[in-house]
Amino acid sequence: MHGMGNNELRVGVVGLGPVGLEILRALRRKPWARIAAAVDIAPDKQGRDAGELAGLDRLGVRVTSALTTECDVVAHSTVSSLGQATAQLIELAGRGCSIVSTCEELAFPLDDEGEQRLREAATAHGVTILGTGINPGFLLDTLPLTVSVVCQEVNSIVARRVVDAGQRREPLQRKVGAGLALDEWRRLQAEGRIRHVGLPESLRLLANGLGWTDVEFGEETIEPVVAQESQRTAYLEVRKGQAAGVRQVIAATRGGQQVIRLELEMYVGAKSPADTIAIDGIPAVNLEIVGGVHGDRATAAVVANMMPRVHRAPAGLVTMADVPVGFSG
């Protein structure tokens, strides 16, 4: 258990892309957060004031290429791949920092070797490591798990997220293949370059949280959403018949019956964006967040709100099912 001292935490932000900068802005709203470090490998960001880079007042914190300042907890937002993030996370743990990371594959690590290395590093250095965000980390896993607490019995859960990618940042629009011809979309998808990372992790996090150890996990399907009309976003054009984005589905079964189904649609021009959860149980529960949750802002909020909670948690590698969840004002 880590001490809080005077309740002020020295926080660092590692990775200053769109999400990292949004995390920085979210942390400026927190009275307990003293921003002590900002790190990015981009040469054009190094040496600049982190506050100015984020569109805020000057913070007096210069962006550096590596973490050199002592921090209690850092927000890590660099890559989606756990394989690429592991060395970074181990290095941060070695500096005595607890970590809240947006690395999607860290939400529920499926790489046994990587998971073991991180668990050992966290324990050895007395820090806590958490992978989280809005998806994975909350909407398709932690939220349905939390809602299920009102059920005496749960037969099945269907969670669905529909996002209008046209209202989101350019990297996300590119990541879902918006504006590509369908044959090019399929070629890039086959290379693993078009997809939202994290659905298998969400599926296992939810099943594990429900205590369902006897489920069979199906393969994820990834298909294009075809544009029914031409549209233009702030960053690109999508013509009728081209790919507007992606639809991903994954499910788990018990005894041949589907018990969890997660659906994600992220495409330009989504008509009815929303986040929905349907639980078949006693009682049945149906939840809809009309309009859906804004992914970037909410991811930054989840990371910032979890930082003091992770700092107080027992040392080790944890998931969102292991740590109390809520706003940290």
The 10s digit of each residue's pLDDT in 146-165 is 999 999 999 999 999 999 99
Residue 317 CA to residue 232 CA, distance in Å, equals 43
What pLDDT sits at residue 169? Answer: 86
Spans of all domains in the chain: 9-133+297-318, 142-292
Specify the pTM. 0.94
Q: What is the pLDDT of residues 259-291, one digit of tens each?
A: 999 999 999 999 899 999 999 999 999 999 999
- Looking at residue 6, its pLDDT comes to 52
Yes or no: say if 38 and 77 are a contact pair by the CB < 8 Å rule.
no
pLDDT in tens, 13-30: 999 999 999 999 999 999
Provide the CATH topology of domain 9-133+297-318.
Rossmann fold (3.40.50)
The yes-or-no verdict on residue 256 having pLDDT over 80 is yes
* Burial (0-12, 13-18, 19+ Cβ within 10 Å), 282: exposed
